[in-house]
Amino acid sequence: MTPMITTSRTTCSATLFLRRFFITSPNKYRMRICVLVPAYNEQIVMGPTIQSLVDSGFKSSDVFIVDDCSTDDTKAIALKYTDNVVTVPSNGGKAAAQAYAIDVFKLNYKYDYVIMLDCDSFVTSNFKDILYAEAYKRPDVDLFVGQVVNARNKSLISSLRAVEYTFSHDLIKKGQDNFGVIYVSPGCAYVFHKNAEALGF
């Protein structure tokens, strides 16, 4: 069974891995995992996304929101769920917002793993437990890559996107994993160990 992440458009599952071989094995009961959610004008899904994380077992104190200068009520809604909300000085896009929040909150010093979750993604109730179990069983892994599965196929476009996601993640990503050469992690949801080069630590 794999941890699933459901979104208004997609479902993701941490099933594919990029291996490294020099990370100290984490203690199962001391692993520190947080979630970082970048958001820009996401007032419709902001609440449900955070609530799904809480329902999965994450403490609100381990959920971090970075607001990329939203012009709607995204930040106000986020503050109803967690105090860990910061707004970037200027709108610079998703990657810049993530980097800013990691630095401001010092996530690489406080946590062993950082989950990057899109704001329109909702995790299922078993996500946290399965992620903890996988991280404990596979200490040589520092990148868990999300598998995207379309959750709503009510139009031709969404149906075609579902086919694309199935092909790219079920076939291509799994093939890359077999050779230890996953080049790109999906933006929907991915989990980095704090030593991952991708985070620039």
10-residue mean pLDDT series, the chain (201 residues): 43 35 44 94 96 95 98 97 97 93 94 91 85 85 70 66 67 71 68 70 43
Residue 200 region, left (φ>0) first, then alpha (ψ -120 to 50), else beta? Answer: left
Q: What is the pTM of this model?
A: 0.76
Q: Cα 195 vs. chain centroid, distance in angstroms?
A: 16
Domains of the chain: 4-199 (3.90.550.10)
pLDDT at 50: 97
Per DSSP bridges, beta strands 33-39 and 63-67 are: parallel
Q: Quick one: which of 30, 32, 92, 40 has its CA closest to 66?
A: 40
pLDDT at 124: 80
Integer Cα distance of 159 and 178 in angstroms: 28
Gap between the Cα atoms of 100 and 145, Å rounded = 22
